[in-house]
Amino acid sequence: MRLLVASVLFLAACCAPSLGNPHDLETATKSVVQVDAGPGSYGSGFVIRSTKIADNAYAILILTAKHVTDGAPEGWPKVLGVEATVVANHLEFDTSLVSVVLDQPMPVATMRLNQEVEVGENLYGMGFSGGQGELWVTHGVASNRDRGASAVPGDSGGPIVDANGHVVGIIVSIDVGSNGFSRDYIYHHCAFVPVVDLVEWLEMVVF
């Protein structure tokens, strides 16, 4: 399983950092959702397809981390309070595709599927840290380290985006560390799976 690591600086505000295009980053946040996997169990995900299937009914496909949905009890996972279905898993890359039917369409993330992440590239992690329903955006720099510490619980399954707001990876590991959910300025690392590694799987199960 190939992971990249971004050294991340938590921002003490739930808004996009200034190094990327603010409009593009704000647009990217609109496709990010909280994935509830049972009482006290939660993660994040992002919409990759929104299709009208009937009047006031839209099939929404969401990418998230497999460990977020693993072991979910009957009636879960849920997205926006609606029961969802796990339709496919990628075991090697800890990734799940989840489907939910909503009464309105959802913004769809733009994925960067034809370009590798470059070492030193500015990246932004997006997730519902702590599962409290509040989306946080963090800034980091891509590194070629093969492992590292990780994101806050609730971030798993959320997207890593570039400065243009395009998804380049999925957050797959968590570690609260000694500071727990503190929103002070804390450096940590965030391991993610590059979406370019998921192209063949996505073509098979989605496109």
CA 142, 147, 151, 157 dihedral sign is: positive
| Arithmetic mean of pLDDT over the chain | 80
pLDDT of residue 183: 36
Q: What are the chain's domains?
A: 4-28+110-202 (2.40.10.10), 45-109 (no CATH)
Residue bearing tokens 């949905």: 69
Q: Alpha-carbon distance 13 to 36, whole Å?
A: 23
pLDDT tens string 12-65? 333 333 455 777 888 999 999 999 998 888 999 999 999 999 999 999 999 999
Q: Alpha-carbon distance 59 to 177, whole Å?
A: 37
Could you tell me the two tokens for 56? 């006031």
